[in-house]
């Protein structure tokens, strides 16, 4: 696997791949890789001739009181596991390389409306501006045919699909299923911050999603009832602090009162300073 740190170098490799007629599958990440990220590499490998992964902890998508500084980083180990999983080129730029105006500063940003107004968009103001801006920069640098994203960040997938549709960006967004630990916890780079006790109580996230799925399968369609069921389960865990529990229309993330079409049940919960997200799609009918 080739590792590059500058935009000039990655552009050269991309030019060479394109000249050789190769399709490019792209996996954007913030690093500290786990099986969820590696599953994206494997999907990209199946569907493309060459796989490019980026590792960049993007300051623009973190709020002033969020965990940018504390975000876990280990480029050496990441390079080993990404190469073993089939990544061909790893692009790991510095903040200065991506934001030469200094300190994450840009004068041009990408704002996606409506699908950013709820869920993580409401609790992390400016987050999706940072994500859409950096991903459009990365798309312009890497020029991929397809880009692979995890459904653990379901709202991010909706935001980026909206962005490529509205701005005619010629990249296919490929959503990939959430990879979980054997006990159900969704894999996340931030899981390393959990104490044993927090990690044990965090199992309530996937358990409460399953309980809601079961309730829908048994005929429950009322959004308030379903949200109450999930909230009560999470609130029973003393270390869990709910940021949000929401059920929205899956297609456009609009508010709904009953489940008639596929709906997204999404939640964000803090355990100490660590904020975890998870979600499931509830199928109506
Ligand atoms: N458990 C998972 N299964 C599948 N894809 C995942 C999983 N976790 C993250 N991803 C995807 O990997 C890509 C990079 O995500 P990122 O580097 O932020 O990892 P992360 O583990 O989600 O980090 P954190 O949860 O701390 O934000 C995103 O498309 C994200 O949706
Ligand atoms: C897409 C992304 C790499 C943009 O920084 C990030 O939001 C992530 O890791 O999901
Ligand atoms: N996967 C989302 C990146 C973030 O939490 O900022």
DSSP 62-107: S-TTSSTTTS---HHHHHHHHHHHT-SEEE---HHHH-TTSTT--S
Give the pLDDT mean for 34-38.
Answer: 98
Q: Which atom of ligand 3 is nearest to the CA of 61?
A: 6
Using only C-alpha atoms, what is the Rg of the chain? 19
Q: Where are the domains of the chain?
A: 2-176, 189-280
* Cα–Cα–Cα angle for 281, 177, 262, rounded to 5 degrees: 20
* pLDDT at position 93: 98
- Between CA 213 and CA 220 the distance in angstroms is 9
CATH topology (fold) of 2-176: Rossmann fold (3.40.50)
* Residue range 87-136, pLDDT digits in tens: 999 999 999 999 999 878 999 999 999 999 999 999 999 999 999 999 99
Q: What is the pLDDT of residue 282?
A: 98
> Does the beta carbon of 4 lie inside 6 Å of ligand 1?
no
- Percent of the chain scored above 70 by pLDDT? 99
Residues 94 and 128: their CA atoms lie apart, in Å, by 21
Ligand nearest to the CA of 104: 2
Contact between residue 92 and residue 143 where contact means Cβ atoms under 8 Å apart: no
Determine if residue 184 is labeled as part of a ligand binding site. no
Would you please indicate which residues are annotated as catalytic (active-site) residues? 37
Q: Is 130 annotated as a binding residue?
A: no
Structure tokens given for 280: 């499931």
CA 69 to centroid of ligand 3, rounded, Å: 13
Q: Which fold has domain 189-280?
A: 3.30.1300
Instruction: Give which of 238, 227, 239, 245 is closest to 273, Cα–Cα.
Output: 239
Q: Is 150 helix (H, G, I), strand (E, B) or coil?
A: strand
State the distance from the centre of ligand 1 to the C-alpha of 37, rounded, in angstroms. 6
Mean pLDDT of the chain: 97
Mean pLDDT, residues 34-59: 98
Beta bridge partners of 180: 186
- Cβ of 37 less than 6 Å from ligand 1: yes
Cα gap 235→269, rounded to integer Å: 10
Q: Is 61 in the pocket of ligand 3 (CB under 6 A)?
A: yes
Average pLDDT (243-259) is 98
C-alpha 190 – ligand 2 centre gap (Å) = 13
Helices 127-142 and 7-19 cross at an angle (nearest 10°) of 50
Is residue 190 annotated as involved in ligand binding? yes
98 is in an annotated binding site: no
Integer CA distances (angstroms), 37 to 9, 23, 155, 161, 176, in order: 23, 20, 17, 19, 10
What's the average model confidence in pLDDT over 54-58? Answer: 98
Strand 274-282 and strand 146-150: the pairing is unpaired
What pLDDT does residue 242 have? 98
- Contact between 260 and 221 (Cβ < 8 Å): yes
d(CA 188, CA 192): 8
Check residue 285 and give its pLDDT.
Answer: 62
What pTM did the predictor assign? 0.98
The 10s digit of each residue's pLDDT in 175-191 is 999 999 999 999 999 99
Residue identifier of the C-alpha nearest atom 31 of ligand 1: 150
CA of 168 to the centre of ligand 2 (A): 20
The answer to whether 110 and 132 are in contact (CB under 8 A) is yes
Atom of ligand 1 nearest to the CA of 153: 31
pLDDT average, residue stretch 61-90: 97
Is 90 exceeded by the pLDDT of residue 149?
yes
* Closest atom, ligand 1, to C-alpha of 72: 26
């Amino acid at each position: 696997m080739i590792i590059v740190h500058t935009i000039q170098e990655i552009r050269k490799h991309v030019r060479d791949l394109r000249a050789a007629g190769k399709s490019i599958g792209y996996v954007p990440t913030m690093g500290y890789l786990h099986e969820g990220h590696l599953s994206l590499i494997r999907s990209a490998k199946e569907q493309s001739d060459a796989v490019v992964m980026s590792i960049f902890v993007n300051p623009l998508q973190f709020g002033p009181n969020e965990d940018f500084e504390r975000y876990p980083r280990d480029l050496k180990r990441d390079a080993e596991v990404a190469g073993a999983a089939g990544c061909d080129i790893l692009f790991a730029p510095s903040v200065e390389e991506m934001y030469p105006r200094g300190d994450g500063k840009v004068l041009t940003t990408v704002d996606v409306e409506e699908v950013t107004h709820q869920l993580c968009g409401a609790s992390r103001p400016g987050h999706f501006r940072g994500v859409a801006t950096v991903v459009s920069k990365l798309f312009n640098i890497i020029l991929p045919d397809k880009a692979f994203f995890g459904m653990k960040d379901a709202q991010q997938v909706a935001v980026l699909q909206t962005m490529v549709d509205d701005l005619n960006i010629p990249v296919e967004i490929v959503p990939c299923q959430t990879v979980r630990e054997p006990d159900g916890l969704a894999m996340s780079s931030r899981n390393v911050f959990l104490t044993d006790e927090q990690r044990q109580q965090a199992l309530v996230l996937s358990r409460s999603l399953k309980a809601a799925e079961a309730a829908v399968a048994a005929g429950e369609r009322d959004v308030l009832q379903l949200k109450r069921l999930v909230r009560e389960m999470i609130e029973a865990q003393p270390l869990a602090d709910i940021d949000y529990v929401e059920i929205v229309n899956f297609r456009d993330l609009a508010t709904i009162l009953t489940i008639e079409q596929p709906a997204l049940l999404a939640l964000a919960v803090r355990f100490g300073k660590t904020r975890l997200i998870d979600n499931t799609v509830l199928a109506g009918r």
